[in-house]
Amino acid sequence: MTTTVSIIGGAGYVGGELLRLLLFHPNVTVRQITSASQTGRFVHTVHPNLRGQTMLKFSHPDSVEPCDVLFIAQPHGVTGAAIEKYAAIAERIIDTAADFRLRDAAAYERWYGAPHPNPQWLEKFVYGLPERHRAELQSARYVSGVGCNATVTNLGIAPLADAGLLESVVTEVKVGSSEAGGRPTDSSHHPERSGSVRSFKPTGHRHQAEIRQELGNNFDLHFSVTAIEMVRGALATSHCFLKDPLPEKELWKLYRAAYRDEPFIRLVKSRVGIHRYPDPKLLAGTNFCDIGFAVDAGTNRVVVISAIDNLMKGAAGSAVQAMNLMCGFDERAGLGFPGLHPI
């Protein structure tokens, strides 16, 4: 008997990616996918890549039936106010929005500008990044999503933070347009977006809160995000200033020890060719995070470069990986796509 799953908020980009992954997952059956605006329409009218792969139609969110695992891919703020209703539908919930990422209600209010509507639920959720919370996820009933900019940064610099080597970090994340979601806005209008390199959050980005929560406060953090001409992808360039210089050989040992058993982390550093460092273009549609680094000789600076697909490892891919852990499946199930080259 397979595990039944449903998706609330299935018309957006993350909802579409969840459906793509779950339709071909060996251990689950998709029962329903909902959209208030698309109710009654075949899902392939919104997600044309799934044409011929399913005859599912969008259901209305109010008609969701009980299932084993409920994925919620609605805008920030929706799940937080309705969590009691959703908890009555499924034993396990994975919410890809920001509503339950932060454990601290005061931090939530600071970064999201309003009190949390159900702060008593914050401690019930596990942050959905398997590389940091694998053991907790295996027994979790409620799992939060992850911020894509936070994830590409956290995975890139975590070995240095965990080892207590960091004095300060200056990170810039370059992101694709899909991070803004599927609803058109002035900034996503093609004449305004095409060809743009737009610093839309040079300071004060909300995902800093997730970085601090996951990696601690023992180093200075400066964090900026820039939108570039790309649809999918996030590339973090983290200038890491260490307390003491560290030889490249020792850095390799540190990163290999941290990630040798991780199925979706790849260390990338080649001396030849054009793919010497991580490139998010190569990760489109995959759940991988590629990480590389360069040592600034004679200084205490290490430049860590990390890349993900923001819709996958930064959202739907990590959510399915978390489900695999929650349900006792192979952690890699449904996530084996290696990407395309060229693309």
**Helix axes of 148-162 and 208-215: crossing angle, nearest 10 degrees:** 30
Q: Which helix (H) or strand (E) holds 295?
A: strand 289-295
**Helix axes of 317-327 and 13-23: crossing angle, nearest 10 degrees:** 50
Instruction: Please list, in sequence order, all residues whose beta carbon lies within 8 angstroms of the beta carbon of residue 204, skipping any fewer than 6 positions away.
Output: none
Q: Which part of the chain has CATH 3.40.50.720?
A: 3-146+313-327
C-alpha span between 293 and 3 (Å, rounded): 40
Which CATH superfamily hosts domain 148-310? Dihydrodipicolinate Reductase; domain 2 (3.30.360.10)
289 has catalytic annotation = no
Residue 94 has a pLDDT of: 98
- Helical H runs in the chain? 13-23, 78-87, 105-112, 130-137, 148-162, 190-193, 208-215, 248-259, 317-327
Residue 300 has a pLDDT of: 97
Residue 193 has a pLDDT of: 84
Residue 200 has a pLDDT of: 86
Mean pLDDT by 10 residues, the chain (343 residues): 95 98 98 97 98 97 97 96 97 98 97 97 98 98 98 98 98 93 84 88 96 98 96 97 96 97 95 94 98 96 98 98 98 97 93
Neighbours of 91 (CB within 10 A): 13
Q: Which part of the chain has CATH 3.30.360.10?
A: 148-310
Instruction: Please list, in sequence order, all residues whose beta carbon lies within 8 angstroms of the beta carbon of residue 91, skipping any fewer than 6 positions away.
Output: 68, 69, 141
Catalytic site residue from 67, 148, 240, 289 = 148
Residue 194 has a pLDDT of: 86
Give percent helix, percent strand, percent coil of the chain, each to the nearest 5. 35, 25, 40
The pTM for the full model equals: 0.97
Tell me which of 1.10.3720.10, 3.40.50.720, 3.30.9.10, 3.10.180.10 is the CATH number of domain 3-146+313-327: 3.40.50.720
C-alpha span between 197 and 149 (Å, rounded): 17
The answer to whether the beta carbons of residues 305 and 282 sit under 8 Å apart is no
Residue 183 has a pLDDT of: 84
Neighbours of 117 (CB within 10 A): 14
